């Protein structure tokens, strides 16, 4: 793992101020990006259908859209292909990788 990747056990601050988003739902991503201030996001990557059907590049694209909208993003249960893609594209530093307990 890249030493610049940020690891944390949980997102900082109260969980009530942290939103979750399902990357399988493009409308949800668009709605979050349309907000004047995008909340911190906690994304569980364990069961993303879009990664299996549309590929890891789609997931990375959605993450970058959210990041560009100003969201701080915590990723949980990142599988090897997504982790490798983030590392190869040198994007690990943009996202916090939550450590599963």
**Structure-token pair, residue 5:** 């990747």
Question: What integer pLDDT is reported at residue 26 of this predicted model?
Answer: 79
pTM of the model: 0.75
What per-residue confidence (pLDDT) applies to 17?
52
Domains in the chain: boundaries: 6-96
- Provide the pLDDT for residue 85: 94
H/E run at residue 19: strand 19-20
Most confident of 3-7, 27-31, 45-49, 61-65: 61-65
Three-state secondary structure call for residue 53: helix
Residue closest to 5 by CA, chosen among 81, 78, 70: 78
How high is the mean pLDDT of the chain? Answer: 78
pLDDT one-digit tens code per residue, 64-86: 999 988 888 999 899 999 999 99
Q: What's the chain's length in residues?
A: 101
């Amino acid at each position: 793992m890249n030493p610049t990747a940020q690891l944390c056990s949980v997102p900082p601050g109260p969980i009530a101020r942290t939103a979750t988003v399902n990357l399988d739902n493009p409308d949800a991503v668009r709605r979050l990006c349309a907000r004047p201030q995008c909340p911190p996001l906690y994304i569980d990557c364990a069961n993303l259908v879009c990664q299996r059907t549309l590929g890891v590049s789609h997931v990375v694209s959605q993450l970058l859209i959210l990041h560009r909208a100003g969201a701080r993003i915590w990723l949980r249960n990142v599988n090897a292909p997504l982790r490798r893609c983030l590392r190869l594209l040198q994007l690990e530093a943009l996202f916090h990788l939550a450590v599963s307990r």
